[in-house]
């Protein structure tokens, strides 16, 4: 209770000031304390200088050690132990002093002999471990190669499942480098001939390149397959979007739209194929669309855009999708997402594979070869403007990395530029999109042939596209109409001077990885086929029973509503 004060026979309450538990104080008090501390230190230094001149020695106020009390029962024994320890420390100190004295008196010849002897002993000790170290390195390398081979086989197994179950295949290409992110001709022809599938090329990320480049690549790619230009949605978390919003993003807002750009054209193409497929095969009630392509080209993002919700997970990290995922779009269309597969050998396209964002830049041991490939494919002027660097010789990767390292302060001891760290930073900027780049489309027929459109003229390519989707459906007219709408939705065009032009990588001869993929997809690899059949039987059984009482995929299809294409 508060104290009471009596005055004139009246009682008054005295309010006690509240005690604050917080250590926060006002700035006025804070700066006052700082000034007092500084002033106290200044006075102490001034007094110590005066005492030093006057010869006054001021002892510390710390208490002196009283020593061992006389009442301690073993005081004498303890004093003897302390004396012995003191003598031992003195003896050791004298020995160290004597050794230092003897070391100073050695001649140069004695020092050289001692150094040679130490080196010989070290070599003899390490010599026995050289062979075992080499063997260990070889075994580690073999294990890493076997692990990479096993991972590729696992992804190929998932890819084969998607191809087997699909009626139409959507091959997703990165619009910045369509040739580099396209499956090799050998694998593509094997898929089309052996499995008798229809293929549509989807040019994704068209918002990252100029409009002229989009039109040029559409013309080139349509010589072999129907091609649709598209930009996947950037935010698929809004699952309550209305169906009429699909593909309706207009103008500059399309670049930040969750619905994406070009979705309407792709859905219309699938709708017409479902219609023609239903007429040809009366018993077929739905079609399955498989989505394939290199890692990080936007396969899962396109699936989420078509579904208008976050149906599958997406990540900028390569290899995020590791297995086949099935999503029901409506009663007539199912979508299958597949993991990205790299069809390159390490000795053939390892550096170019890193530039396709198929490998995490932080996990690369030596990123300099990838930057070497980048510098050789880009003009020096564009890299100078991007990183604000002075002029350097074209193709000289070491000078370029030295300049980048000094520009961003990535240096070692002695001011030596850290080229490895700079190369990793450049590779990270390239894969994350901080460096805006694109590969210009080929302009001559020779370039078109080199970029995989060889062997089919305009008439032959047109006939191939029309025959793929039925003569009753005018594919070319529909694609042209889609292009006009997509270009309108993209808004203002970008200046080509803001981009780094990259020379396209022409397709090399069939690699070992391509041949292995063809053998696996055609069933010539018996060991993998047996393993594949065993896993397929287990997957089918699990999908039918589903083990946890969940609905099967057929039940999900039955519950889905029809996709309202007319609302588009």
**Secondary structure letter of residue 320 according to DSSP:** -
pLDDT of residue 235: 54
> What's the domain range around 402?
346-437
- Domain limit, last residue, from 391, 410, 437: 437
- Measured between alpha carbons, how far is 348 from 361 in angstroms, rounded to an integer? 19
In a domain, 525, yes or no: yes
pLDDT score of 397 more than 80: yes
Residue 65 lies in a domain: no
Q: Which of 5-9, 63-67, 521-525 has the lowest mean pLDDT?
A: 5-9
Identify whether residues 350 and 339 lie together within a single domain.
Answer: no
Distance CA 342, CA 295 (A): 7
- Please answer whether residues 308 and 246 qualify as being in contact, where contact means their C-beta atoms are separated by less than 8 angstroms: yes
Bridge partners (DSSP) of residue 290 are 169, 336
Least confident stretch, 46-55, 201-210, 341-350, 535-544:
535-544
- pLDDT tens for 336-385 read 888 877 766 554 446 777 777 777 777 778 888 888 888 888 888 888 88
CATH number at residue 486: 3.40.50.300
Both 198 and 262 in one domain: the answer is yes
Q: How many CB atoms lie within 10 A of CB 196?
A: 8
Burial class (CB in 10 A: 0-12, 13-18, 19+), 153: middle
Whether residue 337 is found in the same domain as residue 350: no
Residue 153: the pLDDT is 74
In a domain, 541, yes or no: no
Let me know whether 427 and 449 are in one domain: no
Q: Given this model, what pLDDT does residue 28 score?
A: 96
Whether the CA torsion 339, 224, 455, 505 is positive or negative: it is negative
Residues 210 and 237 in one domain: yes
Closest by CA to 175, choosing from 137, 205, 201, is 205
Kindly state whether residues 281 and 415 are assigned to the same domain. no
- Percentage of residues of the chain with pLDDT beyond 70: 66
pLDDT of 467 higher than 60: no
Residue 201 lies in a domain: yes
- Pick the more confident residue, 296 or 108: 296
Q: C-alpha angle 16/22/28, rounded to 5°? A: 90
What's the confidence (pLDDT) of residue 23?
83
- Residue with more model confidence, 279 or 161: 161
Question: Please, are residues 161 and 536 in contact by the beta-carbon 8 Å criterion?
Answer: yes
Q: Would residue 166 count as lying in a domain?
A: yes
Looking at residue 237, what is its pLDDT? 42
Q: Which of 437, 461, 480 is the last residue of a domain?
A: 437
Could you read off the pLDDT of 98-140 as tens digits, one per residue? 888 877 666 666 767 777 777 777 777 665 444 444 444 444 3
- Joined together, the tokens standing for residue 1 give 């209770």
Instruction: Summarize pLDDT for 514-541 with one digit per residue, the tens.
Output: 777 777 777 776 555 444 444 444 433 4
CATH of the domain at 403: 1.10.1580.10
Please tell me the predicted confidence (pLDDT) of residue 33: 96
Same domain, 278 and 318: yes
CB 244 within 8 A of CB 263: no
Residues 6+ apart with CB under 8 A from 320: 300, 313, 314
Contact 261, 249 (CB under 8 A): yes
Model pLDDT, residue 32:
97
Give the three-state DSSP class for 290: strand
Residues 315 and 296 occupy one common structural domain: yes
For 246-274, how does the pLDDT look when each residue is reduced to its tens digit (9 = 90+)? 444 444 444 444 557 778 778 877 877 77
> Do 474 and 357 lie in a common domain?
no
In the prediction, which pLDDT does 509 show?
A: 53
Q: Encode pLDDT of 137-194 as tens digits.
A: 444 344 344 444 556 677 778 888 888 888 888 899 998 888 888 888 888 888 887 7
Nearest CA among 291, 274, 276, 283 for reference residue 333: 274
Same domain, 271 and 222: yes
From residue 159, give the alpha-carbon distance in Å to each of 43, 154, 173, 321: 81, 9, 16, 12
CA count, 13 A, side-chain hemisphere, 552: 10
Helix residue spans in 27-107 (DSSP H):
27-54, 75-104
Task: State how many domains the chain has.
Answer: 2
Is residue 494 classed as helix, strand or coil in its secondary structure? coil
Using pLDDT thresholds of 50, 70 and 90, give the confidence band for residue 90: very high
**Per-residue confidence band for 71, with pLDDT thresholds at 50, 70 and 90:** confident
Using only C-alpha atoms, the chain has a radius of gyration, in whole angstroms, of 38
pLDDT of residue 536: 47
* DSSP3 helix / strand / coil % (the chain, rounded to 5): 55, 10, 35
Q: Rounded to two decimals, what is the model's pTM?
A: 0.61
Which residue among 386, 410, 437 closes a domain?
Answer: 437
Q: How many CA atoms lie within 13 A of 536 on its CB side?
A: 14
Judged against a pLDDT cut of 70, whether residue 405 lies above it is answered with yes
pLDDT at 26 over 90: yes
Do 423 and 401 form a contact (C-beta atoms < 8 A)? yes
* 8 Å CB contact between 287 and 167: yes
Q: Do residues 514 and 186 touch, judged by C-beta distance below 8 A? A: yes
Task: Specify whether the CB–CB gap between 270 and 289 falls below 8 A.
Answer: yes
CA–CA distance, 32 with 167 (Å, rounded to integer) = 80
| Cβ(178)–Cβ(227) below 8 Å | no
pLDDT > 90? residue 45: yes
- Whether 514 contacts 450, CB under 8 Å: no
Point out the least confidently predicted range of 73-87, 375-389, 554-568: 554-568
> What are the b/e assignments for 289-308, b being 16+ CB within 10 Å?
bbbbbbbbbbbbbbbbbbbb
Mean pLDDT in residue range 25-46: 95
> What is the residue whose two structure tokens read 């089919």?
456
What mean pLDDT value characterizes the chain?
Answer: 73
Establish if 553 belongs to a structural domain.
no
Q: Which residues contact 466 (CB under 8 A, 6 or more apart)?
A: 475, 476
SS (H, E, C) 210-240: CHHHHHHHHHHHCCCCCEEECECCCCCCCCC
- One domain, residues 360 and 327: no
Look at residue 140 and tell me if it is in a domain: no
In a domain, 491, yes or no: yes
Residue 88: predicted pLDDT: 94
Regarding whether 421 and 464 lie in a shared domain, the answer is: no
């Amino acid at each position: 209770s508060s104290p009471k004060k009596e005055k004139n026979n009246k009682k008054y309450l005295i309010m006690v000031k509240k005690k604050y538990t917080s250590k926060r104080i006002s700035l006025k008090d804070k700066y006052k304390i700082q000034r007092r501390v500084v002033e106290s230190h200044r006075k102490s230094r001034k007094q110590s200088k005066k005492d030093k001149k006057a010869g006054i020695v001021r002892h510390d106020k710390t208490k002196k050690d009283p020593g061992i009390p006389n009442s301690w029962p073993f005081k004498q024994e303890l004093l003897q132990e302390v004396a012995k320890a003191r003598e031992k420390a003195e003896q050791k100190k004298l020995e160290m002093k004597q050794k230092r004295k003897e070391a100073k008196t050695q001649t140069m010849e004695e020092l050289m002999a001692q150094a040679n002897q130490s080196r010989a002993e070290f070599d003899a000790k390490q010599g026995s471990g050289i062979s075992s170290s080499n063997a260990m390195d070889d075994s580690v390398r073999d294990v890493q190669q076997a692990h990479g081979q096993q991972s590729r086989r696992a992804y190929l197994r998932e890819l084969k499942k998607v191809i087997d179950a699909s009626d139409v295949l959507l091959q997703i290409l990165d619009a910045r480098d369509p040739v580099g992110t396209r499956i090799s001709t050998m694998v593509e022809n094997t898929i089309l001939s052996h499995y008798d599938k229809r293929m549509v090329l989807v040019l994704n990320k068209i918002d990252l390149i100029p409009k002229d480049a989009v039109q040029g690549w559409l013309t080139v790619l349509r010589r072999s397959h129907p091609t649709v230009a598209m930009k996947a949605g950037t935010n698929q978390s809004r699952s309550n979007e209305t169906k009429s919003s699909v593909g309706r993003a207009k103008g500059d807002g399309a670049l930040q739209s969750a619905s994406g750009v070009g979705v309407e054209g792709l859905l219309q193409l699938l709708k017409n194929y479902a219609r023609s497929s239903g007429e040809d095969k009366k018993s077929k009630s739905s079609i399955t669309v498989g989505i394939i392509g290199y890692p990080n080209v936007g396969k899962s993002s396109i699936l989420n855009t078509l579904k208008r919700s976050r149906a599958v997970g997406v990540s900028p990290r390569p290899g995020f999708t590791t297995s086949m995922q099935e999503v029901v779009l409506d009663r007539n269309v199912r979508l299958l997402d597949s993991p990205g597969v790299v069809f390159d050998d390490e000795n053939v396209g390892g550096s170019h594979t890193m530039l396709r964002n198929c490998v995490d830049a932080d996990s690369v041991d030596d990123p300099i070869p990838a930057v070497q490939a980048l510098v050789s494919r880009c003009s020096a002027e564009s890299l100078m403007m991007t990183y604000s660097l002075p002029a350097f010789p074209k193709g000289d990767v070491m000078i370029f990395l030295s300049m980048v390292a000094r520009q961003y302060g990535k240096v070692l001891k002695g001011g030596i530029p850290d080229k490895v760290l700079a190369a990793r930073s450049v590779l990270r900027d390239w894969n994350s999109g901080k460096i805006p780049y694109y590969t210009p489309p080929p302009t001559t027929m020779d370039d078109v042939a080199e970029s995989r459109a060889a062997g089919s003229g305009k008439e032959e390519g047109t006939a191939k596209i029309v025959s793929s989707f039925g003569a009753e459906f005018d594919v070319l007219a529909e694609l042209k109409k889609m292009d006009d709408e997509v270009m309108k939705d993209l808004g203002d065009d970008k200046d080509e001077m803001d981009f780094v032009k990259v020379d396209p990588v022409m397709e090399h001869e069939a690699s070992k990885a391509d041949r292995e993929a063809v053998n696996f997809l055609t069933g010539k690899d018996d060991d993998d086929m047996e393993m594949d059949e065993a896993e397929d039987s287990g997957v089918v059984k699990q999908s039918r029973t589903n083990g946890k009482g969940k609905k099967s995929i057929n039940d999900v299809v039955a519950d889905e509503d029809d996709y309202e294409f007319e609302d588009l």
